[in-house]
Amino acid sequence: MTHARSARILDELRGRIAHLDGSSSRQSAVLPFGLPEIDCHLPGGGLALGALHEVAGGGNGAIDGAAAALFVAGVAARTSGKVLWCVTRQDLFMPGLTQVGLSHNRVLLVECRDETGVLDCFEEGLRCNGLGAVIGEVARMSMTASRRLQLAAEASGVLGFAVRRWRRQADASDYGHPTAAVTRWRISVLPSEPLPVPGVGRARWYLELLRCRAAESADYVVEACDASGRLNLPADMGDGRPSKDAWTSGARR
């Protein structure tokens, strides 16, 4: 069976499932990554709009959330409209967001007293269809809370990201608990692109798609978002799949 035929059969099955569970009338638009290796794996050919997605950092990134924040900022940069970002920690680095294409002029930063406030603002933001994306930084997210966020995103068509961050490394095990998010990602930092001269090359990430509704999990090695918010595949890794030593440095810290 050819790849094209397999993809067509999978799309037909997904359509039937959507019709049976009543989701065929919901928002079906997607935002492609622009990388066929990733887009072909995702239902609809990209990241679903009008949906909630979970993102967390791997290793030390589970606490600082830097790679996860840059990943979602790069995606949000390719949407239209303002981006609402809800936080409890005052450590969002605007120059870093600008480097991945998200202008500080587009970011509406809301600083909340606690995570209950973040979830409240997150949900209200997702109900506003004039926003390009809504991002909320939380450590814990129950099934009930995530379901409310997912329903709000479905109603407005706005892209929602829950960036999961924890105070302690041990608390990151909470990331395995079920939620209503459509996809769940983990972003780990890898050694940067090697250069022929001394210097620091383009950052690389180990992208893990841990959960995806109507698709299997997957993983990729990619070059971090550029100034237009787009990922790229390393020149020495054409299919984006990690090599045997991809975890040697960075990803398993």
* pTM of structure: 0.83
CB 158 within 8 A of CB 185: no
Map out the domains of the chain with their CATH numbers: 31-223 (3.40.50.300)
Mean pLDDT of the chain: 87
Please list, in sequence order, all residues whose beta carbon lies within 8 angstroms of the beta carbon of residue 31, skipping any fewer than 6 positions away: 46, 47, 49, 75, 78, 79, 159
- pLDDT of 27 reads 45
pLDDT digits (tens, 9 = 90+) for 14-45: 666 655 554 444 446 999 999 999 999 999 99
Q: What is the pLDDT of residue 25?
A: 41
Q: How many other β-carbons are positioned within 10 Å of the β-carbon of residue 24? A: 12
Report how far residue 50's alpha carbon sits from residue 62's, in angstroms, rounded to the nearest whole number: 26
Is pLDDT of 3 > 70? Answer: no
Cα–Cα distance, 24 to 166 (Å, whole number):
36
Q: What SS3 state is found at 142?
A: coil
pLDDT value, residue 50: 97
Which of 36-40, 108-112, 171-175 bottoms out in mean pLDDT, i.e. has the lowest?
171-175
What the block records as the tokens of 150 is 């997912």
Q: How far apart are CA 182 and CA 188, in angstroms?
A: 20
